[in-house]
Structure 1
């Protein structure tokens, strides 16, 4: 069930801070080039003046010709060297950014795995097999009917599926936020956009998630809110809509949409990070690895 405009996409590429960082470097390099050319011209003028005053049988025309030729030769040599230095500097900065991304991903990747397992337990009813590492899923809110049941993992003992999912979602959100904050992303801005899409979806769905978690212990008269919500879910038609759903059930629709948006963001992130890792492996002469377990 698609709920429009639940979360806006927040593009982060070409931020003013990044533009200022690159612009300052270019301005500095341009100043160095201009100063170098001026120094060359000044040196040649001094040599020309010395030769002219000394009058060593060399006329002004010959001196001027030789000086102009030298100036043009040195000018193009400086431009050529400047372009080589700029190219090498760009390659180095891109390599440094790529290695920083790969280094951060070593922390993010295991948390993605733990998130996927818990997410798939939440969206899979007990009568179906959990596909632990499925990223892009097709499910309805009715498939989430067993989310308050106990997690099937020993490490999650005593926790409900939705509760442990929320924990690992927050951990992943935290690490992706660190990734976005600590790297400039001058060269791999698409990966930053993918991380931001996950962060945005999680932020916009946070209130609904807290409400769903709160239903575990809340009471509605003599009944628990959890049982009230599950009764509403059983009575909800297969083609139910957010607009016509009962208030408590609207939060579940919002969480459903949040999970869909998170999945889309992770599909992009994992595809892009795999390309970056392969690029880094090729640059280092290593054999490429792949995430074959993801579905």
Structure 2
């Protein structure tokens, strides 16, 4: 049952909505963004350990794989850290729409650095993603991006660089172990460079929303594994657009759970455009 791609898609969509809503709830009582990021990364890593037996134990033999993975981890760290601040200050639905910009960057890197063929429908898909975001932030003749929107774009740039550096490298490791590494090392880096103390982390758990923190960690782990299994057992041209439905679901969830009523129609339209865009890009 768990090897059926559409079951994994359903699990993934539920996990994404859960992750998004609980993450937002966790930020509301958080005292320090860096400490919350570390807390979530550690919890997710611990949960991810349970998935190790379900995947083949294997290690890369080429030293270059480890070097590129090490570089990628730095950008994963940047992405995770910026994400916490972004999710604190922006609506959940807005963040999920902005997060699709990573696909635009990936197309760009593919053309510039991997000499991929310029495919017309992919370019159209990228343009539609950009336009869907422009539509959200265009109001009465004005187009304004605040610093948290720009930070979100920057975080997606960091993610795209990490993914580009690590193309296919994750397949050379046990998937769960690889995820633990790409979560724990960023946590350590944040602790070092932001000078996060043990008391900061302890206070996040003690004084924060414990349920939201735990559920964010669980959802994060399940989200990663379920999407991976969906891609492994299904057709990318079907799985990718259906995964993008999470954007629409989070707009709806944000409306009812987080009371995010501003631009609701625009956001739903943007979500539909994004699903079609991903179909063009991945199809």
TM-score (structure 2 length as normaliser): 0.27
TM-score (structure 1 length as normaliser): 0.26
- Structure of larger gyration radius: 1
Structure with greater contact order relative to length (CA < 8 Å, sep ≥ 6): 2
Structure whose residues are more often helix by fraction: 2
